[in-house]
Amino acid sequence: MLKIEVDDREVLSALAQLQRRAADLRPAMRDIAQALESETEGNFQHERGPGGGWPALKPATARERRRQGYGGTSPILQRGGALARSIVSAYDKTSAEVGTNQSTPGGRYSLGAIHQFGAPRRNIPPRPFLPVSDTGQIQPGTQATILEILQSHLEGP
């Protein structure tokens, strides 16, 4: 067996620095959480999700919106704006997350889950706003951003 020992102060210093950075990824997770929240806000603004654009409002829904004074062309999922305003992110030293705790009037159901995954019984199609698909795939642009953030934090200043 061949054994090589490295006695290079620069390499050892760089390895020690990398080990310190990897021990507490809180700064990277903070940036990732912010990126997830920003991407989610962009999905609301552009009416899209990981699979592309959201299905258009049904004509009856558009008519009902106009009747209620919201306008038939107001942004999808933003009639009153509560769901979009409820988006929050969180992080710790090993994870980053984005989500909502917004519920339907009366609090029986998660408004976010209804729109993220759809509600077939109520004839509501899925309009995923979180930057992750129902199979757990991260939205392509978001994935690139996360990889850039991780690379940047591992390389350091």
Beta bridge partners of 97: 90
pTM above 0.75, yes or no: yes
Average confidence (pLDDT) over 61-89? 83
pLDDT bin (cut points 50, 70, 90) of residue 29 is very high
CA distance linking residue 42 with residue 112, whole number of Å: 16
pLDDT bin (cut points 50, 70, 90) of residue 91 is very high
Report pLDDT for 73: 64
Report pLDDT for 157: 64
Buried b (16+ CB within 10 A) or exposed e, 76-85: bbebeeebbe
Helices vs strands, H then E, count in the chain: 6, 4
Report pLDDT for 30: 96
Q: Ranked by mean pLDDT, which of 9-13, 14-18, 33-37, 50-54 comes out on top?
A: 33-37
With CA atoms as reference, report the closest residue to 148 among 67, 28, 44, 48: 28
